């Protein structure tokens, strides 16, 4: 594929940054369904209330939880940016997620409908969950785990993952969940950073129709330390495992001999709840520390507000992995604090067939679905006819998280999954924010495809320019959070300096999220991708998200990732990697067509210099595109850190696309 420079603009061309930030105009609007709006959990009044008294608003939300000692103080911001929320309150997080629902008479309600990949299933009621969590808490205590200790969890998507997390919370130990599937090196790095004394794992889990081993990676990692005292092993697949006597114990044996009663002790609201490492999309993962009372308040509130959860009738399903923050906040903590019934699925969406997700929605009558743009784009690629075979009429709210959702993917989701009836809520947040921050409310907000739109009630976010001035409506710049929020990270584990440098030094007294954003003419927020990924072409900032969305709006493109690669003439040149839909095949004509398509959507300066059709894109385990690796390829450099990549062979394939970049 030859470089084509004929219509790349030179340095002198006049295109203002502002117009570039607004080139992609999206005029489609979707009002909330009348029925949903009439019965919505949260109405427009919440914004008013929170605006009038932000701390009062959060103090009221904290009353969703059951406190042993009610907090009298809401926010302590005397040592910014180190926040304390509800600091004089005491509670037990696991009690809030489990016991109190049983005490309120909902013990028979299903907490988790587990669907294993091979087709085995299991329904766990709140009463059963209470017994399991209690036994596991007793087991950890027997193994010597105490308040303040750290426990590493490396499990597949099975109910024991939730039980293990809640058992830690119940005894005041912090968990550090590591994605099942990460390498021994990644596990070892996380065990070392957190000083974990116990690791909970399994023999394996089912993936793509086969048992896939987990314990060997743990064995390899744990052997590097003498600090790990015990490895608890859940039996999931029954495959053979190596065994270290004295260190390894079967989960079912240790928990099986414990009583099902465990009295939960109340801990301070600021008791550490977990450490979780960021996805590593932009660099070395950061150990994000979250604590108890504020975190649980905001995860519970946002789950109630953004999904409009009615715990008696809804069936909720979040397809994220438990090893990602979405799994923490919107599988374990938020939904269980709210007494929700949810589906948990172990495997991949195409096992044994590409309709598996929709079969699950139909089987359990799922009403609220939370998934990621990467999954939605994959479903688009597989074709509309697949979801069309299933009854999806139970669905009423659809959520998206993880990356900016391309308007075309949003439209596809709404139409093919939501039957043109369900609101789509695009939720912007991060591991660091702990819970959703910017999202429409399904009963209030007139939705715009591709935009997260408005900060939730009680959240203060805006877009600023280089000098920290708020941009006017229609302007673009950096997303910042301007007031502390209950579920904010408290620090980077054992690295306060990195916490200050990463988030609080770019702009004074504002949290720098690292994402580019723009405000439209209504003041609604559109996320434009990571600041690290913004491309600078002939002196103009161009957002990766907008070029990718323009590519995805072409009927032959399923997915796209663009990067700015060093270029002698223009500083950076746009290189696009695209996955074609179904039957489309690669040829010179299609490449020209795609370049022109972007040109007419966004203007000539946004035309990719090269368009490279590829079979796969490099993604993190949470499904995010790792543009920095594509940039390495486009610039002929050695690849950077690939430890959080799902499948590193993808990079080999892509590199063969670029035999030389001259």
Asked if residues 434 and 489 have their Cβ atoms less than 8 Å apart, the reply is yes
Report the C-alpha gap between 461 and 454 in whole angstroms.
Answer: 9
Please report how close the Cβ of residue 430 comes to Mg ion at its closest, in angstroms.
5
Out of 8, 138, 430, 544, the residue judged to bind ligand ATP by CB under 6 A: 430
Q: Does 428 bind ligand ATP (CB under 6 A)?
A: yes
Q: Where are the beta strands (DSSP E) in 448-502?
A: 461-464, 476-481, 491-492
Report the C-alpha gap between 617 and 619 in whole angstroms.
Answer: 6
Does 100 count as an annotated binding residue? no
Residue 609: what are its φ and ψ, rounded to 5°?
-75, -40
Does 243 count as an annotated binding residue? no
Stretch that binds ligand ATP, among 40-48, 184-192, 277-285, 572-580 (CB under 6 A): 277-285
Out of 203, 219, 270, 515, the residue judged to bind ligand ATP by CB under 6 A: 515
Asked if residues 368 and 317 have their Cβ atoms less than 8 Å apart, the reply is yes
Report the C-alpha gap between 546 and 646 in whole angstroms.
Answer: 25
Does 430 count as an annotated binding residue? yes
Q: Where are the beta strands (DSSP E) in 39-187?
A: 75-79, 82-85, 90-91, 110-115, 121-125, 150-154, 174-177
For residue 515, the partner it binds in Mg ion, ligand ATP, none, with Cβ less than 5 to 8 A by kind, is ligand ATP
Q: Does 318 bind ligand ATP (CB under 6 A)?
A: no
Nearer to ligand ATP, 280 or 458 (CB): 280
Asked if residues 427 and 397 have their Cβ atoms less than 8 Å apart, the reply is no
Does 402 count as an annotated binding residue? yes
Report the C-alpha gap between 307 and 492 in whole angstroms.
Answer: 29
Q: Does 279 bind ligand ATP (CB under 6 A)?
A: yes
Distance of CA 241 to the CA centre of its chain: 32
Please report how close the Cβ of residue 519 comes to Mg ion at its closest, in angstroms.
21
Residue ranges in contact with Mg ion by CB under 5 A: 278
For residue 329, the partner it binds in Mg ion, ligand ATP, none, with Cβ less than 5 to 8 A by kind, is none
Please report how close the Cβ of residue 432 comes to ligand ATP at its closest, in angstroms.
6
Out of 89, 159, 280, 323, the residue judged to bind ligand ATP by CB under 6 A: 280
- Shortest-Cβ-distance residue relative to Mg ion: 278
Please report how close the Cβ of residue 303 comes to ligand ATP at its closest, in angstroms.
15
- Could you tell me the sign of the dihedral formed by the alpha carbons of 59, 60, 61, 62, in that order? positive
Tell me how far CA of residue 462 lies from CA of 476, 483, 484, in angstroms. 10, 10, 13
Out of 197, 356, 530, 631, the residue judged to bind ligand ATP by CB under 6 A: 530
Site for ligand ATP in 244-273 (CB under 6 A): none
Nearer to ligand ATP, 515 or 548 (CB): 515
Q: Does 138 bind ligand ATP (CB under 6 A)?
A: no
Out of 138, 176, 278, 338, the residue judged to bind ligand ATP by CB under 6 A: 278
Please report how close the Cβ of residue 60 comes to ligand ATP at its closest, in angstroms.
26
For residue 376, the partner it binds in Mg ion, ligand ATP, none, with Cβ less than 5 to 8 A by kind, is none
Residues 6+ apart with CB under 8 A from 316: 307, 309, 335, 340, 341, 342, 343, 366, 367, 368, 369, 370
Out of 527, 606, 611, 612, the residue judged to bind ligand ATP by CB under 6 A: 527
Does 382 count as an annotated binding residue? no
Q: Does 402 bind ligand ATP (CB under 6 A)?
A: yes
Report the C-alpha gap between 198 and 139 in whole angstroms.
Answer: 11
Does 271 count as an annotated binding residue? no
Nearer to ligand ATP, 301 or 526 (CB): 526
Site for ligand ATP in 611-630 (CB under 6 A): 622, 624
Q: Does 431 bind ligand ATP (CB under 6 A)?
A: yes
Stretch that binds ligand ATP, among 49-57, 300-308, 422-430, 591-599 (CB under 6 A): 422-430
Residues 6+ apart with CB under 8 A from 589: none
Report which of 148, 118, 283 is spatially closest to residue 641, judged by C-alpha positions: 283
Three-state DSSP at 291 gives strand
Please report how close the Cβ of residue 637 comes to Mg ion at its closest, in angstroms.
22
Does 33 count as an annotated binding residue? no
Helix/strand/coil (H/E/C) assignment for every residue in 228-272? CCEEEEECCCCCCCCCCCCCEEEHHHHHHCCCCCCCCCCEECCCE
Does 5 count as an annotated binding residue? no
Compose the 353-392 pattern: x for residues touching ligand ATP by CB under 6 A, - for all others. Answer: ----------------------------------------
Does 250 count as an annotated binding residue? no
Report the C-alpha gap between 427 and 437 in whole angstroms.
Answer: 7
Does 431 count as an annotated binding residue? yes
For residue 622, the partner it binds in ligand ATP, Mg ion, none, with Cβ less than 5 to 8 A by kind, is ligand ATP
Please report how close the Cβ of residue 325 comes to ligand ATP at its closest, in angstroms.
6
Q: Does 427 bind ligand ATP (CB under 6 A)?
A: yes
Nearer to Mg ion, 382 or 507 (CB): 507
* Site size toward ligand ATP, by CB under 6 A: 25
Report which of 344, 524, 553, 328 is spatially closest to residue 426, judged by C-alpha positions: 524
Stretch that binds ligand ATP, among 5-13, 105-113, 513-521, 647-655 (CB under 6 A): 513-521
Q: Does 401 bind ligand ATP (CB under 6 A)?
A: yes
Report the C-alpha gap between 322 and 231 in whole angstroms.
Answer: 19
Report the C-alpha gap between 354 and 222 in whole angstroms.
Answer: 37
Does 554 count as an annotated binding residue? yes
Asked if residues 206 and 346 have their Cβ atoms less than 8 Å apart, the reply is yes
CA angle 360, 361, 366 (to 5 degrees): 130
Report the C-alpha gap between 636 and 301 in whole angstroms.
Answer: 47
Does 251 count as an annotated binding residue? no
Helix 45-52, helix 54-62: angle, nearest 10: 110
Q: Does 332 bind ligand ATP (CB under 6 A)?
A: no
For residue 338, the partner it binds in ligand ATP, Mg ion, none, with Cβ less than 5 to 8 A by kind, is none
Report the C-alpha gap between 480 and 410 in whole angstroms.
Answer: 25
Q: Which residues bind ligand ATP (CB under 6 A)?
A: 278-283, 285, 325, 401-404, 426-428, 430-431, 452, 513-515, 527, 530, 622, 624
**What residue numbers does the annotated binding site for Mg(2+) cover?**
552, 554, 557
Known binding-site positions: 207-210, 326, 402-404, 426-431, 515, 530, 538, 552, 554, 557
Known binding positions for CoA: 207-210, 326, 538
């Amino acid at each position: 594929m030859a470089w084509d420079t004929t219509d790349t603009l030179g340095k002198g061309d006049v295109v203002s940054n502002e117009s570039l930030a607004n080139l992609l105009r999206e005029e489609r609007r979707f009002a909330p369904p009348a029925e949903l709006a009439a019965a919505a959990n949260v109405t427009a009044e919440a914004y008013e209330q929170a605006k009038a008294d932000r701390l009062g608003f959060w103090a009221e939300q904290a009353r969703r939880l059951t406190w042993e000692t009610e907090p009298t103080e809401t926010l302590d911001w005397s040592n910014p940016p180190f926040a304390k929320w509800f600091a004089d309150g005491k509670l037990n997080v696991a009690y809030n997620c489990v016991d109190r629902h049983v005490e309120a008479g909902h013990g028979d309600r299903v907490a988790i409908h587990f669907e294993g990949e091979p087709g085995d299933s299991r329904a766990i009621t709140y009463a059963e969950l209470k017994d399991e969590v209690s036994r596991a808490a007793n087991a950890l205590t027997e193994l010597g785990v105490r308040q303040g200790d750290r426990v590493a969890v490396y499990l597949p998507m099975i109910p024991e993952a939730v039980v293990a997390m809640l058992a830690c919370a119940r005894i005041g130990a912090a968990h550090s969940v590591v994605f099942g599937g990460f390498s021994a090196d990644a596990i070892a790095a996380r065990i070392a950073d957190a000083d974990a004394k116990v690791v909970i794992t399994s023999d394996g889990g089912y993936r793509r129709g086969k048992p896939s081993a987990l314990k060997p990676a743990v064995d390899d990692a744990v052997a590097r330390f003498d600090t790990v005292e015990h490895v608890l092993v859940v039996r999931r697949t029954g495959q053979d495992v190596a065994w270290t006597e004295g260190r390894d114990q079967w989960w079912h044996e240790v928990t099986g001999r414990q009583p099902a009663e465990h009295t939960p002790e109340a801990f301070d609201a600021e008791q550490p709840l977990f450490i979780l490492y960021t996805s590593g999309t932009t660099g070395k993962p950061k150990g994000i520390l979250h604590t108890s009372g504020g975190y649980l308040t905001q995860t519970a509130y946002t789950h109630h507000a953004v999904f409009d959860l009615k715990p008696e009738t809804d069936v909720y399903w979040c397809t994220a992995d438990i090893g990602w923050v979405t799994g923490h906040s919107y599988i374990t903590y938020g939904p269980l604090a709210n007494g929700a019934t949810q589906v948990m699925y172990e495997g991949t969406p195409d096992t044994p067939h590409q309709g598996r997700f929709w079969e699950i929605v139909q089987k359990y009558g799922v009403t609220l679905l939370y998934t990621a743009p990467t999954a939605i784009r994959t479903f688009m690629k597989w074709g509309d006819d697949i979801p069309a075979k299933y009854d999806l009429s139970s669905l009423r709210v659809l959520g998206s998280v993880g990356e900016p959702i391309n308007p075309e993917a949003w439209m596809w989701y709404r139409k093919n999954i939501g039957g043109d009836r369900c609101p789509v809520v695009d939720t912007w947040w991060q591991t660091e924010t702990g819970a959703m921050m910017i999202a429409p409310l399904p009963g209030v907000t007139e939705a715009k495809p591709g935009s997260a739109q408005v900060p939730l009630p009680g959240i203060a976010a805006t877009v600023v320019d280089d000098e920290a001035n708020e941009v006017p409506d229609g302007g673009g710049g950096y997303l910042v959070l301007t007031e502390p929020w209950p579920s904010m990270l408290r620090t980077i584990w054992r690295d306060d300096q990195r916490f200050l440098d990463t988030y609080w030094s770019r702009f004074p007294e504002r949290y720098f999220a690292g994402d580019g954003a723009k405000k439209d003419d209504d003041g609604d927020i559109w996320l434009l991708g990571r600041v690290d990924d913004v491309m600078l072409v002939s002196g103009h900032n161009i957002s990766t998200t907008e070029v990718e969305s323009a590519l995805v709006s072409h009927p032959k493109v399923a997915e796209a990732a663009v990067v700015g690669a060093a270029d002698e003439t223009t500083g950076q040149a746009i290189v696009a990697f695209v996955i074609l839909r179904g039957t489309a095949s690669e040829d010179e004509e299609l490449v020209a067509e795609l370049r022109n398509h972007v040109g007419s959507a966004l203007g000539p300066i946004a035309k990719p210099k090269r368009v490279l059709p590829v079979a796969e894109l490099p993604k993190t385990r949470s499904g995010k595109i790792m543009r920095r690796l594509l940039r390495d390829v486009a610039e002929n450099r050695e690849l950077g850190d690939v430890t959080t990549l799902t499948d590193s062979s993808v990079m080999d394939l892509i590199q063969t696309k670029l035999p030389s970049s001259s």
